[in-house]
Amino acid sequence: MSKEEIRKYGLELGADVVGFAAAGDYKSPRTPELTAVLPSVKSVVVLGYREVDGSLDSPNPRTSMTERFGIMDVAQKNNYLMARWLENRFRAKAAAVALSYPLNMGAPYFGLVADVSLRHAAVAAGLGVFGRHNLVIHPKFGTRLIFTAILTDLPLSSDPPVTEELCNDCGLCVDICPAKALETEGRTENMKCLRVSQPYGIGSAIGFLRKLAGAAPEEQKAMFMDPRFLSLYQASFIGFQYECFRCLAVCPAGR
């Protein structure tokens, strides 16, 4: 068994970076234990996919989100292929981690805490360090990497950690955040971020339905023609959509 053989396969699938973390080196303050996903887990294989610069820099949020959907589709497929390959090649157990949704919507998480923190897994796998925006900065790609992971019972050692300080503390991410979600260093105010970055999420849908229920028939008719309802309807079958990528786009690291 060779980490380099696994890394090579991940890169052949289309990942831009592949790293490894022993389960004991994964430290996340909010997420459940890795054993809640795979009881026999010993290691985490982390794959990273770079954002397309033109799409991320586009002032059109639909363009940026289309690119993100592409990463999600590729990563989901590759997670399955990597997990299946690990089981076939090494007779190991492997479990793919969701890149985004489905999320645990039950208490106490309510969709705000993932089953596995892919950011912390990436840091443990030597793929970067945290920046002021609380995102992972990679030595080459900067903030413009999206991570996903596979848990396995293969005993794999962690890759060397990144020791270089990659964040120059310029504060651009803090200043540009329209939600003011990064005011406290080391903390992202999730609800502030979500109100701006996902304006057509579940909170907006509940608010719209409550208003609709109390509206007169003529007002209800107008509400159904409102662009806000049309965006909520679109989100109902497309899934979670981000309207804000500013903290990623403005970060100078990896440019």
pLDDT tens digits for range 87-118: 999 999 999 998 887 888 888 888 788 899 99
Q: Is residue 216 part of a domain?
A: yes
130-157 pLDDT, tens digit per residue, is 999 999 999 999 999 999 999 999 999 9
Domain boundary among 135, 166, 197: 166
Looking at the fold, whether 54 and 72 belong to one and the same domain comes out as: yes
Q: Name residue 138's beta-bridge partners.
A: 142
Total domains, the chain: 2
Instruction: Provide the domain limits for residue 218.
Output: 172-246
Looking at the fold, whether 125 and 178 belong to one and the same domain comes out as: no
Looking at the fold, whether 227 and 108 belong to one and the same domain comes out as: no
Distance CA 135, CA 123 (A): 10
Peptide bond into 139 cis (omega under 30): no
Looking at the fold, whether 48 and 11 belong to one and the same domain comes out as: yes
Distance CA 109, CA 28 (A): 14
Domain boundary among 150, 166, 182: 166
Question: What does the block give as tokens for 157?
Answer: 């050692």
CA atoms within 13 A on the CB side of 203: 12
Looking at the fold, whether 150 and 206 belong to one and the same domain comes out as: no
pTM: 0.91
Looking at the fold, whether 48 and 7 belong to one and the same domain comes out as: yes
pLDDT given at position 39: 98
Domain boundary among 141, 166, 191: 166
Q: Is residue 252 part of a domain?
A: no
Looking at the fold, whether 139 and 180 belong to one and the same domain comes out as: no
Element (H, E) at 134: none
Report, as an integer, the average pLDDT of 236-250.
87
Looking at the fold, whether 95 and 201 belong to one and the same domain comes out as: no
Looking at the fold, whether 147 and 213 belong to one and the same domain comes out as: no
Q: Is residue 254 part of a domain?
A: no
Looking at the fold, whether 73 and 23 belong to one and the same domain comes out as: yes
Looking at the fold, whether 51 and 140 belong to one and the same domain comes out as: yes
94 close to 152: Cβ distance less than 8 angstroms: yes
47 close to 158: Cβ distance less than 8 angstroms: no
Looking at the fold, whether 183 and 97 belong to one and the same domain comes out as: no
Buried b (16+ CB within 10 A) or exposed e, 208-241: beeeeeeeeeeeeeeeeeeeebebbeebeeeebb
Q: Is residue 255 part of a domain?
A: no
199-210 pLDDT, tens digit per residue, is 888 888 889 999
